[in-house]
Amino acid sequence: MADKVHDVIMIGAGPTSLAAAVYTSREDIETLIFEKGIIGGLAAITDQIDNYPGFEEGIEGLQLAEKLQKQAERFGATIELGEVQSVKKDGDVFSLSTTSGELQAKTLLIGTGSEWKKLKIPGEDDFYGRGVHNCATCDGAFYRDKKLVVVGGGNSSAQEALFLTKFASHIDILIRGDKWKASDVLVDEAEKNDKITVHFNTTTDEIVGGDENKVTAVKGTKDGQETTFEVDGVFVFIGLKPVTYFLEGSGVELDEYGFVKTNHKLMTNVPGIFCAGDVRSGATMQIAAAVGEGAAAALSIREYLENYQREMIPNGNGQD
């Protein structure tokens, strides 16, 4: 049994929760944020963020994450490093099973964001961390003057490939479809870069290693023909999936893709559980939007807690 009931526990310390925490903490709503990975989320491992307002020259993802964290903590929010394993309604409160024991809260904010999808091809798991990567800012330095494949045709693929050109001698970008999904600005920059070659209509079929247990090649199919790229490493950016495993059994409704459904106040079908940012159904997957949703969710949480204090907890299903 938990020894106290928190006003709000936020699950995930990405931009969504950190922005929400600025609002809740400033209003003396006692706020605990739980993070199992990186404070700042995927934003923190992004090399350079040029589309977040207020930084005319752009800002490094890690630096933005640190600023968001400091601002939330300045008003009294507490960040705990650990994992929330399950959530359940327990009378008038929510009980959370965590790596730090059982915790209780009057309200919850789900701000877990999303994580990288896998290719699910032979060799991917065998060489993960030893030639197969999802974090260019972490692992790019191991590929000075080496050849790389980057898989994916979205913004992350283009941006991370550009970052990797600081190290790699050449990068082949493999895109399954016949065009980019990335923004024109990034596409233009990537296609102008002498170190990058873009291959459309190219699937990634197998990652192959050599005697030293390192990646030596990527096999793919280009325009129906088998093709081999002799490279030293592969960076995979083929899209994101929502992080919701801890909600199993909680009663929180997900959409057909596994994202959390909310109403216009960012409340789920379980009254008192709110959701914002990339994990929310309909999210735009932008840092600026995640921050905005965090602020909006914080205001809804405040309103809910005001009713909670008056013992007027809504009984509706929350789906307006």
Partner 1 sequence: MSKKITVFTTNTCAYCAMVKKWLDSKGVKYNVVNLDENPEKQKEIYEKSGALTVPVTLIEKEDSTEEVVIGYNLARLASVV
Instruction: Please give the C-alpha separations between residue 8 and each of 11, 23, 161, in angstroms, as whole numbers.
Output: 10, 12, 39
65 binds partner 1 (CB under 8 A): yes
Can you tell me the distance from the alpha carbon of 158 to that of 152, in angstroms, rounded to the nearest whole number? 8
60 binds partner 1 (CB under 8 A): yes
Under rule CB under 8 A, residue 130 binds partner 1: yes
Among 262, 267, 271, 268, which residue's Cα sits nearest to residue 314? 271
Whether residue 34 contacts residue 58, with contact meaning beta carbons closer than 8 Å, is answered with no
Residue from 21, 32, 39, 276 binding partner 1 (CB under 8 A): 39
Of 30 and 66, CB closest to partner 1: 66
- At its nearest, how many Å lie between partner 1 and the CB of residue 254? 27
Size of the site for partner 1 (CB under 8 A): 32
Q: Which residues contact 122 (CB under 8 A, 6 or more apart)?
A: 205, 206, 207
Q: Residues 51, 169, 197, 213: which binds partner 1 (CB under 8 A)?
A: 213
CB of 83 to partner 1, least distance (A): 8
Residue from 29, 32, 33, 45 binding partner 1 (CB under 8 A): 45
Which string of DSSP letters, residue by residue, matches 115-127?
Answer: EEPP---TTTTTT
Q: Which is nearer to partner 1, 74 or 214 (CB)?
A: 214
The residue within the footprint of partner 1, chosen from 92, 102, 142, 245 (CB under 8 A), is 142
Sheet with 225-229, strands from edge to edge, namely 202-209, 215-222, 225-229
SS (H, E, C) 244-297: CHHHCCCCCCECCCCCECCCCCCECCCCCEEECCCCECCCCCCHHHHHHHHHHH
Instruction: By CB under 8 A, name the one of 28, 58, 74, 82 that touches partner 1.
Output: 82
Indicate whether 133 belongs to the interface with partner 1 (CB under 8 A).
yes
Residues near partner 1 (CB under 8 A): 36-40, 44-45, 47, 60-62, 65-66, 81-82, 99, 129-131, 133, 135, 137-144, 213-214, 233
